[in-house]
Structure 1
Amino acid sequence: MPLTKDFKETIKARAECDPEFRAGLFREAIEAMLSDDLDTGKVLLRDYVNATVGFEALAQDMDKDPKSLMRMLSAKGNPRADNLLAMVSRLKQREGMALSMVPDTEFRA
């Protein structure tokens, strides 16, 4: 089901005024991808890009065609790892975030 314009505008408005929400949306996208749920990760990352930097500015940062980036995150998109990781890296820099892996449980030998 496609998102409504009102929903997209609500996400954008919240992302503009709430840095924690913006960072949470980005983290959720990355966590979904790392949990082998690429489809959900792409949807969340697309929402994040639309609500923050936009595909035009991101494409300029990456020296890519904006439509190519949009296709990568579309439902049928199949992004190459190098392109997807370059996108994540640029977005992480723009957001001023550091991502780290924290284990769910303590490892004991």
Structure 2
Amino acid sequence: MREQVKWRIRTDDAFGYALLSEAIEVLLADDMTTAKSVLFDYIDATIGFEELSQQSGLALDSLRDMFGPAGDPRAADLFRVIGLLQLHQGIRLEVSTAA
């Protein structure tokens, strides 16, 4: 199943955008477990952990652990990663009030 999701992220920009947006939405809804899982797959399918490590200045193992099941990312690191993912995807996510 994960391989299908990764393939779709790589081949469908709209799906990748929607998945990244969903990860941020569930993060804001305080579902860290789901957000980390989705972000792990998203990172793995797009920028990759090695490139993200280089761009973020965070250690490769720390990044993988951060988004793993037992990970507990610091807010500063999480927002740094989200910012880099937005740049990589060529998007800018915004928070707005529900109508």
> Aligning the two structures, in what range does the TM-score lie when normalised by the shorter sequence?
over 0.9
> What pairs with 1:18-97 in structure 2 (closer than 5 Å)?
18-97=12-91
Q: Over the residues paired in the alignment, what is the CA RMSD in angstroms?
A: 1.0
Look up the equivalent residue of 1:62 and give its one-letter code.
Answer: S
* Structure of greater relative contact order (alpha carbons < 8 Å, 6+ residues apart): 2
Give every structure 1 segment of 4 or more consecutive aligned residues whose post-TM-superposition deviation is greater than 4 Å: none
Task: Determine if contact 1:16/1:51 at 8 Å carries over to the other structure.
Answer: yes
Distance in 1 (CA, whole Å) between partners of 2:58 and 2:93 is 24
Distance in 2 (CA, whole Å) between partners of 1:13 and 1:33 is 23
**Displacement of 1:8 after TM fit?**
2.7
Partner of 1:103: 97
Partner of 1:3: none
**Under a length normalisation based on structure 1, what TM-score does the superposition of the two structures give?**
0.85
Alignment gaps of 5+ in structure 1: 1-6
- Measured against aligned partners, the alpha-carbon deviations of 1:63-82 in whole angstroms (never above 9, x if no partner) come to 22111001001111111100
Alignment gaps of 5+ in structure 2: none
**Under a length normalisation based on structure 2, what TM-score does the superposition of the two structures give?**
0.93
User: What is the aligned length?
Assistant: 99
Q: Which has the larger radius of gyration?
A: 1
Look up the equivalent residue of 1:33 and give its one-letter code.
Answer: L
